Amino acid sequence: MEAAKPSLTIAPQRSRIAEILNLRNLDGLMLAAAVGLIAFSVFTLESASRHEVAADPLYFVVRQSIYGVLGIALMIAVSHIDYTRLRELRVSIYAFMVGSIAFVLLVGTAIRGSNRWIELPFFQFQPSELAKVLLCVSLSAFVYERIRRPFGLRVTLGLLALGLLPAALVFLQPDLGTGIVLVAITLTILFVGGIPWQHFAALAAIVALLGGGAYLGGSAVGFHPLAGYQQDRLTSFLHPSNDPSDGSYQVNQAIIAVGSGERSGRGDEATQTELLFLPERHTDFIFAVIGERFGFLGAAFVVLLYALLFWRAIRVMRIATSYYGVVIAGGIVAMLAFQAIINVGMNLGLMPVTGITLPLISYGGSSVLGTFLALGLLQAIHAQSRAQSFRSY
pLDDT confidence of residue 1:
45
Report the pLDDT averaged over residues 262-284: 84
pLDDT tens digits for range 98-128: 999 998 888 766 666 567 778 777 778 899 9
Read off the pLDDT band of 330 (50, 70, 90).
very high
Side by side, the strands of the sheet bearing 109-111 are 109-111, 114-120, 123-125
Task: Tell me what percent of the residues of the chain surpass a pLDDT of 90.
Answer: 50
Domain ranges, ordered by start, for the chain: 29-194+226-392
Burial 81-104 (b: 16+ CB within 10 A, else e): eebbebbeebeebbebbbebbeeb
CA pair distance 356, 282, nearest whole angstrom? 13
CA pair distance 336, 261, nearest whole angstrom? 26
Per-residue pLDDT for 303 more than 70? Answer: yes
Read off the pLDDT band of 12 (50, 70, 90).
low
Average pLDDT, the chain: 84
Count of beta carbons in the 10 Å neighbourhood of residue 63: 19
pTM, to two decimals: 0.86
Q: Do 340 and 308 contact (CB within 8 A), yes or no?
A: no
Q: Do 330 and 317 contact (CB within 8 A), yes or no?
A: yes
What DSSP string describes 203-262? Answer: HHHHHHHHHHHHHHHHHHHT--SS-HHHHHHHHGGGSTTTSTTTTTHHHHHHHHHHHHHT
Report the pLDDT averaged over residues 139-168: 87
Give yes or no for a cis peptide into 174 (omega within 30° of 0): yes
Q: Which of 350, 337, 342, 37 lies closest to 45 in space, CA to CA?
A: 37
Least-confidence region, from 109-123, 154-168, 195-209, 250-264: 109-123
C-alpha of 364 from chain center: 11
CA pair distance 36, 140, nearest whole angstrom? 29
Q: Do 267 and 293 contact (CB within 8 A), yes or no?
A: yes
CA pair distance 329, 312, nearest whole angstrom? 11
Beta-bridge mates of residue 120: 123
